[in-house]
Amino acid sequence: MELPSGTIRFWDGSGGPLIGADGEVYRACVLTEDALAQIEAAINAEAFTLSLVLSGINEAASNAVWTDYQAGNIVGSIFRVLLQRCDDWEQPTGDPIVKFTGTISNLNFVDQGSDKGIKSTIQVDVANRFTLRSVTNGAVLSDVDQRARGKILNPTAPDDKFCERIPGLKDRTIRWPNW
């Protein structure tokens, strides 16, 4: 998470921090099966939002996130998911590959106090580029908006005529299979 107060890095694993090839420190976290399924859906563009719960965050990281949250600087921050190959001893090899990039759209804090201290849980909602397909009133993009968006996402591609072709398909009959 690239927050205004600094970048917070996590790696899926147990144990202590991991020092990346670039010298950056990654904090250990454990992803649940539910979290892995949500990340996979976001990577495959099957979901246009990604909601993750970060629990067991250390006090310094939690305080930094809280400070940014109070200042109103969290929404719009970059959130990336990177994948990296591991060798036979589960040590990272090669360069990480960016598999998902989005922006933080919402953040919720839940603190639970007990005789052992305070446990912070942060729910992060991340929107990806597919969220842009709808506007705030719930309507879909117009043909002009879709073409402009297509030029931004892929400037070398020909004009995106998706919205132009869809109305012509309403009177067509789809036969399956056509033997």
Residues 138 and 155 in one domain: yes
Q: Is the Cβ–Cβ distance between 12 and 92 less than 8 Å?
A: no
Question: For residue 34, is it within any domain?
Answer: yes
Same domain, 146 and 75: no
pLDDT value of residue 17 = 83
- Residue 175: inside a domain, yes or no? no
The single residue listed with the structure tokens 């205004």 is 4
Mean pLDDT by runs of 10 across the 179 residues of the chain is: 86 79 82 82 77 78 84 87 84 83 86 77 80 53 69 76 72 73
How much is the pLDDT for 129? 65
Do 51 and 76 belong to one domain? yes
| 38/112 same-domain check | yes
106, part of any domain: yes
pTM of the model: 0.65
The CA-atom distances, in angstroms, between 170 and each of 92, 161, 165 are 51, 16, 10
Structural domain that includes position 139: 134-169
Same domain, 106 and 162: no
Q: 28 and 49 in one domain?
A: yes
**Total number of domains in the chain:** 2
